[in-house]
Structure 1
Amino acid sequence: MTAPRQTQLGPSHPIRPDLPALGWTDALAATLPPGTEPDRVSRVDRGAVEVLTATGAEHARLAAPVRRAAAADPVALPCVGDWVALVALPEGRREVAAVLPRRSAVVRGGVSRTSREGLSGDGQGQVLAANVDVVVVAEPARHADDLADLGRIERLVALAWDSGGTPVVVLTKADLLPGGLPQLLADVGAAAPGVDVHAVSAVTGGGVPAVRGYLTGSATAVVLGPSGAGKSTLVNALAGGEVMPTQQVRAADGRGRHTTVHRELVVLPGGGLVIDTPGLRRVGLFDVGDGVDKVFADVEELAASCRFADCSHRGEPGCAVLAAVESGELPRRRLESWLHLQREAAWMATRSDVRVRRKQARQWGSMHRQMRRDGVIRR
């Protein structure tokens, strides 16, 4: 294997040899402010981040402009997976001077300021992971009478499509449901059309190589799912050793107990990176693109055949969607899930418009005050 090319940040700033393996590219180098050095965020603490270094990890505090930007828009807050520009301080520490442009970001909306996982307000968003190539949606296979939550999978896959990454659904703890796996795989595949679905068992190792295959070179994955889904166990299986703490499975129901309390970027032996996340209690849509349309491509195709273009699929004559439900071609659960996510997407679009108008008003107000100070306009 040839050595990574030494991208130059400037005449006297060759990058560290380990950065290309973390995902550093020439495109990122072109955005790096003069006089700064790049690094990738592996963990975020209050007012500071942990970045990966050639010898381990290092803490760096956030510069005032970065804090101000995050206060105005929580999406601007540095997140796990971000590339940041660092400046050296006189006392020997480093400071985050800027967050470099993201090529992808998993952003959820509707997070309250009291949430222990974020500081975003009503109608705002929270970045769960940045610069990811693959979004692994983890859902436990569980028992035959307690199948995967298809509605949650649909929501997370829509979030994944809108992030710019590629969604992959992983049914964990497959050893607990050996007889029901074929039907479960079929059900999940129908709920996530066009998405790869894998059954994985950390106990037997089954399915792990297939998921590991997505993480070649410097590819980055994030694992999303509910508490007890086995996300950290999956990360350990991908790493081939314990890199994230886990807890024992409960004997009563065979489910794991939530362990991870923060997001963390892990470098895998042999290449690739993966971001482990805490269990998600609520996953709201944020900047909705075509993710919902992709998840419900089958329903969208049926809707195109309705008699009326503005059909609400609630009882209009000639509704192809309701006809498919009545014939058993389309599960009623799937129709209700589609309608619910469409309503949520429309609401978030309205909130986004309000957010944009408020931001523009703040910018104009700031510009007006500056013009007054400069004497361009008079009181």
Structure 2
Amino acid sequence: MTNARLPTSLELLGWSDFFADQIEPADEDLVPRRIASVHRARIEAIGVTGSVELELPANANTADFAVGDWVLADPSSDMFVRRLDRKTVFQRRPEVGRGQQLVAANVDTLLIVTSCNADFNPDRLERYLIMANQAGSKPVIVLTKADATDDVGLFQTQAEALQRDLPVIALNGHSADAGFLLRSWCGAGQTIALVGSSGVGKSTLVNTLTGPAYGSKQKTGNIREYDAQGRHTTTARSLHAIPGGGWVIDTPGIRTLYVSDITDGIDTFFADIVELAPLCRFRDCTHLHEPGCAVQAAVKNGTFAAERVERWRSLVLENRDRTPTISGPRGNKSVRKKKY
């Protein structure tokens, strides 16, 4: 099976050499399945023969699976055997608990959805971008409700300034043009995922992308006018087919984003600061008050805004303080979250 050419239908599901290279001789009687939805007590998947409900071992925890995962299963019983390594994974650390909460896996492009109203929050978008960078997915900011404002250009300019070479698309989620504007990331075998606050139009956009003939529609809801906040209309993550061969994962709205265990994502987001740091006199420069600091010199000559450096420092400290550390005597280690 390792050397055989994979069926085209598997490739259309998002299968690639990255996953094929993980197939071992002992797996030759198993079949690949892709996780399509995760619920409290069950998991649905899709394969070359259609949709199936995976049988899980008695000790399995559905929280260990993400929509978009590739797994191997016994074709006669649909029993889960093992999960393949993820190419990308978007996850977040909730306010309580020690582990990371899986959001989506094997996503090529992460659409960070916000709207052209009071929901637009550059600080929150920074956090989404950092998490997208950490996940390994290409981030794209999607500005919805563009038809309801006269200041689309202002929103777009602010979003584009957040990260180097960041694509920003403004659209009306109800319009058929939305699919045309996002077509570059929705090709055959490509997977996109939508993340953002409740009420910004994620489910509406999923419905527009999938079209009237593709499965059940996602529920949509209204927003409060005074603060542009909406209710959670999507309660579970799910994978949907896009006409043309792509796939879209819708996710519930995320109220709070904590920066934790995400150093690489921060370094990518603040690449301009990271690239300049080796020119500082001291290797452990904090870019705050040390003599010979190349970053502070850039602030003084106008290359960097002082606010950007302060944002970098704030997020680095939050990441350090919120990332669990190992403590306790040897043989009795425990995970302890640093306090402010």
Q: TM-score when scaled to structure 2?
A: 0.81
* Inter-partner Cα distance in structure 1 for 2:166 and 2:79: 40
Q: What is the 5 A alignment of 1:264-275?
A: 264-275=238-249
Cα drift, residue 339 of structure 1: 1.5
1:229 paired to 2:213? no
1:44 paired to 2:38? yes
Secondary structure at the residue paired with 1:284?
coil
Q: Which amino acid aligns with 2:81?
A: A
Identity %: 35
Cα drift, residue 327 of structure 1: 7.3
Determine the structure 1 residue equivalent to 2:108: 133
Where do 5+ consecutive residues of structure 1 fail to align?
1-7, 113-120, 362-379
Determine the structure 2 residue equivalent to 1:160: 132
Residues 261/354 of structure 1: CA separation in 2 closer, same or farther (3 Å cut) = farther
Q: Which amino acid aligns with 2:161?
A: A
Q: Which amino acid aligns with 1:83?
A: W
Cα drift, residue 85 of structure 1: 1.3
Determine the structure 2 residue equivalent to 1:171: 143
Q: Which amino acid aligns with 2:155?
A: L
Deviation sequence 1:169-208 (CA, Å, 0-9, x none): 1111111222x22222111111122211111212445554
Cα drift, residue 284 of structure 1: 2.8
Determine the structure 2 residue equivalent to 1:82: 69
Q: Which amino acid aligns with 2:191?
A: T
1:336 paired to 2:310? yes
- Confirm or deny: 8 A CA contact 2:119 2:200 kept in the other structure: no
1:210 paired to 2:177? no
- Confirm or deny: 8 A CA contact 1:160 1:167 kept in the other structure: yes
Where do 5+ consecutive residues of structure 2 fail to align?
335-340
Among residues 13, 37, 42, which one is paired with 1:22 in the alignment?
13
Secondary structure at the residue paired with 2:55?
strand
- Confirm or deny: 8 A CA contact 1:102 1:130 kept in the other structure: yes
Residues 130/305 of structure 1: CA separation in 2 closer, same or farther (3 Å cut) = same
* Inter-partner Cα distance in structure 1 for 2:175 and 2:20: 42
Q: Which amino acid aligns with 1:212?
A: R
- Confirm or deny: 8 A CA contact 2:116 2:143 kept in the other structure: yes
RMSD (Å) for aligned C-alpha atoms: 3.4
Q: Which amino acid aligns with 2:238?
A: E
Residues 173/81 of structure 1: CA separation in 2 closer, same or farther (3 Å cut) = same
* Inter-partner Cα distance in structure 2 for 1:233 and 1:46: 25
Determine the structure 1 residue equivalent to 2:337: none
Q: What is the 5 A alignment of 1:171-320?
A: 171-178=143-150, 180-206=151-177, 208-241=179-212, 243-248=217-222, 256-301=230-275, 303=277, 308-316=282-290
Residues 293/235 of structure 1: CA separation in 2 closer, same or farther (3 Å cut) = same
Determine the structure 2 residue equivalent to 1:370: none
Determine the structure 2 residue equivalent to 1:94: 78
* Inter-partner Cα distance in structure 2 for 1:147 and 1:331: 24
Higher-Rg member (1/2): 1
* Inter-partner Cα distance in structure 2 for 1:251 and 1:127: 31
Residues 234/331 of structure 1: CA separation in 2 closer, same or farther (3 Å cut) = farther
Q: Which amino acid aligns with 1:104?
A: T
Q: Which amino acid aligns with 2:217?
A: V
- Confirm or deny: 8 A CA contact 1:111 1:126 kept in the other structure: no
* Inter-partner Cα distance in structure 2 for 1:38 and 1:267: 18
Cα drift, residue 17 of structure 1: 6.0
- Confirm or deny: 8 A CA contact 2:140 2:167 kept in the other structure: yes
Q: What is the 5 A alignment of 1:56-67?
A: 57-64=51-58, 66-67=60-61
Q: TM-score when scaled to structure 1?
A: 0.74
Larger CA deviation: 180-189 vs 269-278: 180-189
1:108 paired to 2:83? no
Larger CA deviation: 28-37 vs 258-267: 28-37
- Confirm or deny: 8 A CA contact 1:136 1:222 kept in the other structure: yes
- Confirm or deny: 8 A CA contact 1:66 1:98 kept in the other structure: no
* Inter-partner Cα distance in structure 2 for 1:167 and 1:111: 24
- Confirm or deny: 8 A CA contact 2:178 2:208 kept in the other structure: no
Cα drift, residue 319 of structure 1: 5.1
- Confirm or deny: 8 A CA contact 1:66 1:96 kept in the other structure: no
Q: Which amino acid aligns with 2:13?
A: L
